Amino acid sequence: MNFSPELMISVGLLVVEVVLILLCRQWAKKPIDPLKPRLVNPTIVLFLLAVAFLATAAHVVSLITGVQLKPRRMKGMQ
């Protein structure tokens, strides 16, 4: 297996994203204090982190397999 620097950075970023998702999940579980409103909605942050996680995971898979993931086209469009 080829452990390139790009793969190591991507896996490290994947781990950081998992930690941030877990921290944000804990933050979202806390009860809301009416006297101290939240400036950022934790659900939106969780959604953005989940999208980043999926994109990074797809990148790691393409680095490990050596095959770039390609979107599928609909048959009618060319």
pLDDT tens-digit profile of 10-53?
999 999 999 999 999 999 999 988 898 889 999 999 999 999 99
Any domain includes 72: no
Count: domains in the chain? 1
Domain housing 12: 5-31+40-65
Q: Is residue 46 within 8 Å of 35, Cβ to Cβ?
A: no
Any domain includes 73: no
Any domain includes 10: yes
Q: Tell me the C-alpha to C-alpha distance, in Å, between residue 67 and each of 5, 13, 62, 70.
A: 18, 20, 5, 9
Q: Identify the DSSP state of 7.
A: H
Q: Is residue 62 within 8 Å of 69, Cβ to Cβ?
A: yes
| pTM, entire model | 0.77
Any domain includes 45: yes
Any domain includes 76: no
Please give the Cα distance from 74 to 39 (Å, whole number): 41
Any domain includes 56: yes
